[in-house]
Amino acid sequence: MPGLSRIAVVFLALSFGTAAAAPSPQAVKLDLAMQVMAASHARDNAMMIIDTMMPQMIQMIKGNTHDIPDKVLKRFQVLARADLLAALPELMKSEAEIYARHFSEEDLRALLAFYKSKAGQHMIAEMPKIMKETMPLGMMWGEQAGRDAMTKALAELRKEGVKI
Q: Could you read off the pLDDT of 47-100 as tens digits, one per residue?
A: 888 888 888 888 888 887 778 888 999 999 999 999 999 999 999 999 999 999
Task: Give the pLDDT confidence of 93-140 residue by residue, as tens digits.
Answer: 999 999 999 999 999 999 999 999 999 999 999 988 898 889 889 889
Q: For residue 89, tell me if it sits in a domain.
A: yes
DSSP letter at 21 equals P
Question: How high is the pLDDT of residue 95?
Answer: 95
Give the whole-angstrom CA distance, residue 129 versus residue 105: 30
Q: For residue 14, tell me if it sits in a domain.
A: no
> What range does the domain containing 90 cover?
22-117
Question: How high is the pLDDT of residue 14?
Answer: 55
Q: For residue 146, tell me if it sits in a domain.
A: no
Q: For residue 136, tell me if it sits in a domain.
A: no
Q: For residue 94, tell me if it sits in a domain.
A: yes
Q: For residue 12, tell me if it sits in a domain.
A: no
Q: For residue 81, tell me if it sits in a domain.
A: yes
**What total number of domains does the chain contain?**
1
pTM, two decimal places:
0.66
CB 28 within 8 A of CB 105: yes
Give the whole-angstrom CA distance, residue 99 versus residue 29: 8
